[in-house]
Amino acid sequence: MFPLPRGRGILVSNRIAVLLIVAVAVATRIVSWWNPAAHVDDQFYMLAGQELLKGHWPYIDVWDRKPLGLFLIYAGIAAIGGKSILVMNLVATAFAASTALVVRQIALRFATPLAALLAALTYLFVLPLYGGQNGQSPVFYNLLIAGSFLLLLRASEGRGSIKASAFAAMLLCGLAMTIKQTSFVEGAFIGLAFLWLLHRSAMRPLTIAGTGAAMVAVALAPTILCFVAYWLQGPAAAHEFVYANFISIFERQSWSPLARLAGIALLFLYLFPLFIMAGIGAVSLWRSRRNETATALLLGWLGAALLGYLSVPAFFDHYALPLVAPLGVAAAIFYDMRSGRLFFAGYLVFCLIQGSILDWPSNRDEAARYELIRKTVDKARQGGCVYVSDGPSRLYSDFPDCRPTRYLFPDHLVLITEKDAVGVNTADEIANILAGGPEVVVTRLTREGRQAVEIRTILKTRLNRDYRPVLATPAGPSQGVDGIKVWQRKDLPPPSG
């Protein structure tokens, strides 16, 4: 049996819980709402969404390896608010709050209403620690995966048809795969779990096989529809879609073993307390033998999320975000223990000390530095072309009249792990861009080993020969606009003021 609510305190009320979740979603993210350079990925997604509205297709006109669904989301955001960073953050905040509400609904199957609420708040407090304070892809697809898992739990409880729930869940998982391919792992687990439920309901094996095939078709339908849109444009467009979505990722180079160890260390730096609380909760739930079906499903979801994380050899902080929802649900069981709420309070303080949630000064300063960069670029380009070799891709949004390359996300050409993994020889592409003589080139101070030696040599030679620096912002911990250098072509008059 599921636990019954303990008491009728104010935090047990559904209405109060919803209001608190929404308030915390805003409070944990608002510091960066007006920062146009808060995260390099979000800048590019906004740019790609704007370009899509202009008829410039991902993979063909603007290259990336994220699925089309993510860019459709950002195209919708751009249709509402143009290049407004505030509108993007409001939409992302709505997704984060909605996911937390689903986390609470899932946690109610295992814990008391108060503990379930704390699980939802845990999700919101942890997101900013791993790059999820703005519009990273897991902020959007976590809602779809959590929603599909909730459907799985409801089906296991006998609420509604298992088959109908399975098809609805597979559609959600299929949509998630059009936002990030690695969500396939969690989707595959949920699909297999539904087949297990069908088997347990005494359905005939042949019927289960047919249902499973139909479930796979439903899950793949959104991706197939995306492919068809490119196939209708011809073989070349179809090839670009397939290469970007399914092949290029395997051509990326891995970071050094030391860098990968550093990534693992970063994973546990902020998630270690949550892993411990979730582990204690999961073990306690397993030992209690209470609702063994739901327990097995929750443990399976945890395992699938972890496997999805491990499936990507490289590490960036936001790769950890899909782990937060299942970890939060498992931690809800711990929050019902004698010291659980005290540990939650301690973890909340830990999240605040990390700094992202309360970092008004850095976001304000970064926004001001970006504005300085934007104004300098505008004066220096004199109506001409801007090439962002390394730095804020938002500059392409602010100066949309020229595109020196279809590789508008700077890392795709300069990052050492991307060398020749984007469909072209990256060094040749950079050389061709610079040979075209863009009026302004933007670079960023980078650590040793971030760029291939050949690319560093090309940039250094061409920039020192043909360009003059007109602005240099100081180096710092940010990955957005710190250590930026703006170069103007020497044959142009220096920018005034």
Same domain, 314 and 394: no
User: Mean pLDDT lowest for which of 71-75, 230-234, 386-390, 471-475?
Assistant: 471-475
The 10s digit of each residue's pLDDT in 147-185 is 999 999 999 998 889 999 999 999 999 999 999 999 999
Task: Give the Cβ contact number of residue 338 at 10 Å.
Answer: 6
Hey, what are 337's tokens?
């223990």
Same domain, 404 and 342: no
Q: Which ranges in 232-339 belong to alpha helices (H)?
A: 235-242, 257-288, 292-310, 324-335
Q: In the prediction, which pLDDT does 11 show?
A: 63
**What stretch of H or E contains 387?**
strand 386-388
Q: In the prediction, which pLDDT does 5 show?
A: 43
The 10s digit of each residue's pLDDT in 329-346 is 999 999 999 899 999 999
| In-domain check, residue 494 | no
Same domain, 96 and 200: yes
Hey, what are 156's tokens?
């296991």
Assign 256 a pLDDT band (cuts: 50, 70, 90): low
Same domain, 109 and 254: yes
Q: How many CA atoms lie within 13 A of 263 on its CB side?
A: 18
Same domain, 252 and 154: yes
Domain boundary pick from 327, 358, 389: 358
Hey, what are 306's tokens?
């972890």
Say which residue the tokens 């949630």 belong to.
357
| In-domain check, residue 153 | yes
For 363, 430, 467, the CA distances from 456, given in Å and listed in that order, are 30, 10, 15
Tell me the one-letter amino acid at 317: D
Same domain, 350 and 245: yes
Q: How far apart are CA 26 and CA 92, in angstroms?
A: 10
The 10s digit of each residue's pLDDT in 78-97 is 999 999 999 999 999 999 99
Q: Which ranges in 157-252 belong to alpha helices (H)?
A: 162-177, 184-200, 205-231, 235-242
Same domain, 194 and 260: yes
Total domain count, the chain? 2
pLDDT of 8 strictly over 50: no
Entry pTM = 0.94
Q: In the prediction, which pLDDT does 266 show?
A: 73
Q: In the prediction, which pLDDT does 1 show?
A: 35
Is the four-CA dihedral 15, 16, 17, 19 of positive or negative sign?
positive
| In-domain check, residue 5 | no
| In-domain check, residue 497 | no
Q: In the prediction, which pLDDT does 2 show?
A: 43
Assign 267 a pLDDT band (cuts: 50, 70, 90): confident
pLDDT of 479 strictly over 60: no
Given a contact cutoff of 8 angstroms between Cβ atoms, the answer to whether 43 and 64 are in contact is no
Q: In the prediction, which pLDDT does 70 show?
A: 98
Percentage of the chain exceeding pLDDT 90: 82
Domain boundary pick from 317, 339, 358: 358
Same domain, 383 and 458: yes
Q: How far apart are CA 492 and CA 480, in angstroms?
A: 27
| In-domain check, residue 221 | yes
Q: Which residues constitute the domain of residue 109?
A: 10-358
| In-domain check, residue 3 | no
Assign 450 a pLDDT band (cuts: 50, 70, 90): confident
The 10s digit of each residue's pLDDT in 324-333 is 999 999 999 9
Same domain, 346 and 426: no
Q: In the prediction, which pLDDT does 7 show?
A: 43
Task: Summarize the confidence of residues 455-484 as an average pLDDT.
Answer: 87
Given a contact cutoff of 8 angstroms between Cβ atoms, the answer to whether 46 and 83 are in contact is yes
Q: In the prediction, which pLDDT does 4 show?
A: 41
| In-domain check, residue 1 | no
Same domain, 155 and 283: yes
Domain boundary pick from 307, 337, 358: 358
Q: How far apart are CA 313 and CA 446, in angstroms?
A: 22
Same domain, 19 and 90: yes
pLDDT of 443 strictly over 80: yes
Same domain, 334 and 428: no
Percentage of the chain exceeding pLDDT 70: 94
